[in-house]
Structure 1
Amino acid sequence: MEQPGFVDVLPLSPLQEGLLFHALHQGSGPDEYVVQVVLELDGPLRAAELRGAAEAILRRHPNLSAAFWFEGVDSPVQVIPRSVTLPWAEFDLRGRTVDEQRAERERLLLEQREAGFDLFDPPLLRFALIRLEPQRHLLVLTNHHILLDGWSYPVLFRELFQLYQSGGDDSELPRVTPYREYLAWLAGQDRQAAEDAWRRALAGLSEPTLLAPTAGPAGPGRRAQATLELPAELTADLRVLGRRRELTTGTLVQGAWAILLRSLTGRSDVVFGTTVAGRPPQLPGVESMVGLFINTVPVRVRLDPHEPLADALRRFRDEQAALVNHQHLSLTDAGRLSGHGKLFDSLVVFENYPLDTAGITPAGSELRAADIAGHDGSHYPLSLIVFPGEKIVLRLDYRSDVFGPSTVEQLLGRLGRLLEALCANPDCPVGNVDLVGDVERERLLGLNDPAVVTPSAVVPELFGRQVALRPEAIAVVSGEAELTYAELDARSNQLARHLVASGVGPERVVGLALPRSVEAVVAVLAVLKAGGAYLPIDPGNPAERVRSILRDATPVLLLTTAATRPGVEDGGTPTVVLDSPEVQQRLAAQPTAELTDAERGGALHPGQAAYVIYTSGSSGIPKGVAATHEDVVELTGDRAFDSYADARVLVHSPLAFDASTYEIWVPLLRGARLVLAPGEAVDLDAWHSTITRNRVTHAFLTTALFNHLVGERIELVSALREVWTGGEVVSTQAFRRAVETCPNTRFVHVYGPTETTTFCAYHEVRTADSIGNTVPIGRAMRNMRVYVLDGFLGLVPVGVVGELYVCLLYTP
């Protein structure tokens, strides 16, 4: 301040409060709300007189000299000092080459912006005059956004050059309506009515709409732009559509942005921000006032997939019209009323103020504005700036540390396609609007492999082929016990005959409450040979869960051991205790030959159930999932397992966990070896002994177990040739360490619900450098397809949130 003292103390407008809050909490780095306007001037220029005109502007509009106080007061205020010194700098670049001038000019402009402002030290603006040639100059105005909005710049520059032309005489300029009168108007509005209106408008909003929910403060130099110019024909079509349907271009673009947000977030109730002019028409002289009048308000759009586009936009228009008289409420208050502190992180701005070269300098002036350019900013990660004209221009300002250039270009392309679709068929239901272009659609569909024609087969048939190929090869090992393929075949045939004699047949369910053992492997194979479907039951589960499963699945028989029988016996289902001497004698007396269709009461069919596994269910009630023989055959036939002929797979999952499908059937139907982990509980020391002694090559590990082994027992992982892992959100840190530490181990990240027979997609992680913020789940397995769809069942573009849908290319 030039002289001590001040002439006025004023409250802040709603947006000034927000900008002050942001300035105080943004941290280090350049202020994102420093604005810069650059005028290129042609003609003779008198620098001293232009500086005097700029000083007169400050006297004419005292609010441009404001300082902002927030300490020691109940509410922040803006203080108008008695006088200030206008920051004015001049730079002479005459005599330099064009390239030298361009480089130095950009350096000076950046320097002016990065100098920033101390909100307590006015004025929060500065002028710079850059001489390029004797009659060619740049006039640079740099200011904090807390002083001025876009509508104020044309007024300010017209007055500046009129004052320059008149030698500082402002008698021909209109009377200035003081900014304090606008603030007084704000104070006189019905706050309760405004709060009621916004409370109704935001009622029921379940969550904010955040495109970058984890983004922290932006660092220096992390903003970029991308632009799309709409064809003149499309611009004209939008205007015609607007006239016919009584919709403004702004409503059309905002509606398209809402649909784009829906596709990006997967939600049909979205919110974004927009700026409103904030100049009340009832305030005399408001059109020639200079200051910050705009306000940022939330825009809520609820999308019904069945509603025609034009109807949805008219409803949206009417909802916004009901808020026009209440748009002075602060964004902070609107967020509080909604129950969410932060409502959105994307902004839509219409640059419809007349800031161009025409009319800036007075008629007859020797000095002419040849060009105008600007630089502004925002703390929002993504802002859509709309420039009207014969060709509408859409510009996305974005944080380059949050969004990549290709992502932003894709967003602009989708927004353009949305506007085209709107013009082409305004009565199209909202849910039918397609954001994916032909090229992108082809790419998305191409992420899935084509269908593979496979011969119809059942599990015992494929197992029998392996028995014929390698009868003396070891099929299963458990401690010191082991069975060859021929021995496993014979013992399972004996048990299958006993099961048939006990009432088991096609589509009959057999409960298995067996510990991890050779006998359990014999049992699952025997049930399938008898035509039944096995139902794994964990005897360690709560009694009510076991009873619930038995009531729902109604097995015809229970296979147990003497130790597990008490945990599953329900008193009504016949039980076979496999380790009882009586049962052992009966089994030994059975023939070892393969069962005939006549013996089991019918032929096996690929569509028959092979097993039933109960998951916890989303409601907490056990839910049975049946998998067919064809499901198992398709899983084991995937090309990912083509190298498994010599594999030794660790079997450690409970039989009631669907990972056991991989652990048992992939090796058995590929001619490999099952190595059973000792005990029911995880004993890593015992595992190490088993893996080492049996030269185990392959294992599936749940995500939690994988993370633990990588962190604590990496030697167990490095001993394996291949590790599959999945089930939860994977730790990228653990994956990086695993890949770096175990170069001879192949790591596969896998995904799949029980309903898709254990796995439906997988991704091999080859190098640590390929791991980003997440580890992909990869491509679909054989004869499956995976699609990411939005809430309206439309394909979503790459990088967009959606729900995963799994499609089978065979008939289970």
Structure 2
Amino acid sequence: DIVVGSPIANRLPAETEALIGMFVNTLAMRTQVDGEQTFTDLLGQVRQNALAAYAHQDVPLAQLLNSLTIERDISYSPLFQVLFALQNFPEIPAINLPDVQLQPLNHAPETVQVDLMLDIQQVAGAWQCHWNYNRDLFAPETIERMATLFNALLSAVIAQPDLKLAHLPVLEADKLASAAEIAQFARWNATDRPFPATMAVAQVFEQQVERDPTATALVFAGERLSYAELNTQANQLAHELIARGESAESIIPIYLTRSFGLIIAMLAINKIGAAYLPLDSNMPAERIRHMLNDCAAEIVITDSTLAAQLPTTAIELVLLDPNWQQTVDTPSHNLPPASADNIAYVMYTSGSTGQPKGVRVTQQGITRLVKNTNFMTFSPTDRFLQFGATAFDASTWEIWGALLNGAALYLYPAIPLDLALLAQFIEAQQITSIFLTAGLFHQIVDHHLASLHSLRYLLAGGDVVSVAHVERVRQSLPNTTIINGYGPTENTTFTACYCVPKTGDLGASLSIGRPIANTKIYILDPQLRPVAIGVTGQLYTSGAGLARGYLNRPDLTAKHFIDNPFSNDGSKLYATGDLARFR
């Protein structure tokens, strides 16, 4: 269902022909296109629609818009965003005046009324096409390609007017990637890098313990916990969980605010090959009840204060109150290693389109995210900020990016958000690595940019990141690397990252970059064929970060995690549902 605007002279009465003035009105031409109809059929349909519109050309567009319940937005034209103008007035005859030379002025407009306008005029027996477009939305090469396609399309329909629209060669083949482009995609997808793919999360962490046991692992409320102390307490809790009947592939909910206990619980659960399920105290009780029932939890790790807020269930509680380790009589030595293929955590999506569904992320997905990756470097001297809700998958990068690389993880106090306090915390603790949602990134840049000088890496994502704000950071913090991170929960936090260059034009919108290490990206048409550069398709992804599907939802898993047609190793592709294009 397509609506295109088209200006018309609006001079039906004969007496208006000689009048000087602006009578032009814009008609909204609506066409419903069916791929099964022929071009001849479509042409007849458009002709009828045009004649019907001409019959009402004296109805002002503004009056039409006022009578329609269309949501208005100042960022784009209502009803239609594309304009087609056929300039069919006769050529202006030569005008000869004594001692005066006249010639037409070819004026190229510098502003646009709509996103895209095609102006066609017959000159000397040929049709001239002028493309007027919004440079914030289209690159010049995109318009050049569009013009080439349009010319090819006209040639195709002239040659085969009775061919079905869906079978027009220009609509089919020209959107598909060429052999050269497919080769380019393969180069972009050559992201394989060595990482501990066969090691469980706890194994990688225990290597850090052996390397520097006294190094600071956690900092919270003025207290510190070393790598050795964190490992010991996690081992104690892990043995306690085993004593309570938990084992590999169990799902164990955690209902704790930011604290040492929260990280201890996550590590302990992964040590036995089980999966943690983070519950947020701000979640509605019904959502928590659904998650507890869906995962068939037998225990919940919480504390005495929060336990009272949990929905009433028969689930056993493990309380991590202060000095909890003194109440358990369990060993503190390391456990036999879990498998890298074990589920590390279950994270429920927002459920904005229905009942929330649990995504099962493996331990290998975590190590792929933070070990020997290509979008940033990790150092034992780094200070990561754990600020995001643990039910939000950016926390995976925050927590394990620090603990699997020997860095310190600073836990932000469990208090309501105060932008000034957050900025003070970052500056006072000399934080080096943070992730902020796009909205929070914009706010802190607007009001507290001077507090971010300690940062080595500033990651933002979750929504569109403003180029203007990125530019301000780039100018003010030359030692900070800005990264635009993109990725669904189903591919372990990040699928692609764009490391903003220190100099150069960023364009009208920020790219999501290229796939991160051990990850592949495909942009495909509905038939799972790679589309050409500049052509929009659905983004699919594969690689070591791919989740094991949805908990108790085999139907959705089969729908979104499909067999990978580009590999014969039995791997899967995840259909993100997001539209993207290579550029």
TM-score under structure 1 normalisation? 0.55
Deviations 1:371-413 (A, max 9, x none): x9785888765224265999x6552242686766444322212
Structure 1 counterpart of 2:220, from 475, 478, 486: 478
Structure 1 counterpart of 2:403, from 668, 687, 698: 668
Q: Which residue pairs with 1:531 in the alignment?
A: 273
Deviations 1:190-239 (A, max 9, x none): xxxxxxxxxxxxxxxxxxxxxxxxxxxxxxxxxxxxxxxxxxxxxxxxxx
SS at match of 2:38: helix
Larger Rg: 1
Return the alpha-carbon distance in structure 1 between the equivalents of residues 381 and 261 of structure 2.
Answer: 23
Once the two structures are TM-superposed, the CA of residue 347 in structure 1 deviates from its matched residue by 3.9
Q: Which residue pairs with 2:100 in the alignment?
A: none
Amino acid aligned to 1:613: M
- 1:346/1:796 Cα in 2 relative to 1: closer, same or farther (>3 Å)? farther
Query: Superposition pairs for residues 742-781 of structure 1, below 5 Å?
Result: 742-767=477-502, 770-781=505-516
- 1:336/1:536 Cα in 2 relative to 1: closer, same or farther (>3 Å)? same
Greater fraction helix: 1
Once the two structures are TM-superposed, the CA of residue 276 in structure 1 deviates from its matched residue by 9.5
- 1:731/1:319 Cα in 2 relative to 1: closer, same or farther (>3 Å)? closer
Structure 1 counterpart of 2:44, from 301, 305, 317: 317
Return the alpha-carbon distance in structure 2 between the equivalents of residues 352 and 519 of structure 1.
Answer: 76
Structure 2 counterpart of 1:574, from 316, 325, 346: 316
Structure 2 counterpart of 1:327, from 40, 43, 54: 54
Q: Which residue pairs with 1:426 in the alignment?
A: 163
SS at match of 1:567: coil
Once the two structures are TM-superposed, the CA of residue 611 in structure 1 deviates from its matched residue by 0.8
Once the two structures are TM-superposed, the CA of residue 669 in structure 1 deviates from its matched residue by 1.7
Q: Which residue pairs with 2:29 in the alignment?
A: 299
Once the two structures are TM-superposed, the CA of residue 649 in structure 1 deviates from its matched residue by 0.7
Count of aligned residue pairs for this structure pair: 515
SS at match of 1:385: strand
Q: Which residue pairs with 1:584 in the alignment?
A: 325
Once the two structures are TM-superposed, the CA of residue 557 in structure 1 deviates from its matched residue by 1.2
**Residue 230 (structure 2) pairs with residue 491 (structure 1):** no
Q: Which residue pairs with 2:349 in the alignment?
A: 615
Moved more, 443-452 or 348-357: 348-357
Structure 1 counterpart of 2:464, from 721, 726, 729: 729
Q: Which residue pairs with 2:201 in the alignment?
A: 459
**Residue 322 (structure 2) pairs with residue 595 (structure 1):** no
Query: Superposition pairs for residues 23-422 of structure 1, below 5 Å?
Result: 269-273=2-6, 297-304=27-34, 307-308=35-36, 311=38, 313-321=40-48, 324=51, 327-330=54-57, 332-333=59-60, 339=68, 343-349=79-85, 375=106, 382-385=117-120, 387=122, 393-398=127-132, 405-419=140-154
- 1:302/1:461 Cα in 2 relative to 1: closer, same or farther (>3 Å)? farther
- 1:677/1:399 Cα in 2 relative to 1: closer, same or farther (>3 Å)? closer
- 1:421/1:579 Cα in 2 relative to 1: closer, same or farther (>3 Å)? farther
Contact 1:648–1:675, Cα closer than 8 Å, also in 2: yes
Amino acid aligned to 2:469: A
Contact 1:726–1:751, Cα closer than 8 Å, also in 2: yes
Q: Which residue pairs with 1:718 in the alignment?
A: 453
- 1:539/1:269 Cα in 2 relative to 1: closer, same or farther (>3 Å)? same
- 1:680/1:658 Cα in 2 relative to 1: closer, same or farther (>3 Å)? farther
- 1:275/1:670 Cα in 2 relative to 1: closer, same or farther (>3 Å)? same
**Residue 190 (structure 2) pairs with residue 450 (structure 1):** yes
- 1:511/1:401 Cα in 2 relative to 1: closer, same or farther (>3 Å)? closer
- Runs of 5+ consecutive residues of structure 1 not aligned to the other structure: 1-267, 284-288, 362-371, 598-603
Return the alpha-carbon distance in structure 1 between the equivalents of residues 9 and 426 of structure 2.
Answer: 68
Contact 1:417–1:435, Cα closer than 8 Å, also in 2: no
Once the two structures are TM-superposed, the CA of residue 473 in structure 1 deviates from its matched residue by 2.6
SS at match of 2:188: coil
Return the alpha-carbon distance in structure 2 between the equivalents of residues 327 and 447 of structure 1.
Answer: 53
Amino acid aligned to 2:454: A
Q: Which residue pairs with 2:98 in the alignment?
A: none
Deviations 1:255-306 (A, max 9, x none): xxxxxxxxxxxxx5342427699999xx9xxxxx9899998644333234xx
Contact 2:31–2:46, Cα closer than 8 Å, also in 1: no
- 1:668/1:316 Cα in 2 relative to 1: closer, same or farther (>3 Å)? farther
Contact 1:396–1:408, Cα closer than 8 Å, also in 2: no
SS at match of 2:493: coil
Deviations 1:37-68 (A, max 9, x none): xxxxxxxxxxxxxxxxxxxxxxxxxxxxxxxx
Amino acid aligned to 1:572: A
**Residue 340 (structure 2) pairs with residue 627 (structure 1):** no
Percent of aligned positions that are identical: 29
Return the alpha-carbon distance in structure 2 between the equivalents of residues 754 and 406 of structure 1.
Answer: 33
SS at match of 2:458: strand
Once the two structures are TM-superposed, the CA of residue 569 in structure 1 deviates from its matched residue by 4.9
**Residue 295 (structure 2) pairs with residue 553 (structure 1):** yes
- 1:732/1:542 Cα in 2 relative to 1: closer, same or farther (>3 Å)? same
Contact 1:762–1:777, Cα closer than 8 Å, also in 2: yes
SS at match of 2:473: helix
TM-score under structure 2 normalisation? 0.75
CA RMSD of aligned residues (A): 4.1
SS at match of 1:465: helix
Return the alpha-carbon distance in structure 2 between the equivalents of residues 708 and 529 of structure 1.
Answer: 38
- 1:765/1:294 Cα in 2 relative to 1: closer, same or farther (>3 Å)? closer
Once the two structures are TM-superposed, the CA of residue 568 in structure 1 deviates from its matched residue by 1.7
Contact 1:511–1:558, Cα closer than 8 Å, also in 2: yes
Deviations 1:11-50 (A, max 9, x none): xxxxxxxxxxxxxxxxxxxxxxxxxxxxxxxxxxxxxxxx
Contact 1:732–1:775, Cα closer than 8 Å, also in 2: yes
Return the alpha-carbon distance in structure 2 between the equivalents of residues 787 and 565 of structure 1.
Answer: 45
SS at match of 1:584: helix
Moved more, 530-539 or 612-621: 612-621
SS at match of 2:404: helix
Return the alpha-carbon distance in structure 2 between the equivalents of residues 377 and 741 of structure 1.
Answer: 37
- Runs of 5+ consecutive residues of structure 2 not aligned to the other structure: 71-76, 96-102, 548-583
Contact 1:478–1:677, Cα closer than 8 Å, also in 2: yes
Structure 1 counterpart of 2:256, from 511, 514, 538: 514
Once the two structures are TM-superposed, the CA of residue 510 in structure 1 deviates from its matched residue by 0.4
Once the two structures are TM-superposed, the CA of residue 429 in structure 1 deviates from its matched residue by 2.3
Return the alpha-carbon distance in structure 1 between the equivalents of residues 12 and 188 of structure 2.
Answer: 55
Deviations 1:125-177 (A, max 9, x none): xxxxxxxxxxxxxxxxxxxxxxxxxxxxxxxxxxxxxxxxxxxxxxxxxxxxx
- 1:463/1:401 Cα in 2 relative to 1: closer, same or farther (>3 Å)? closer
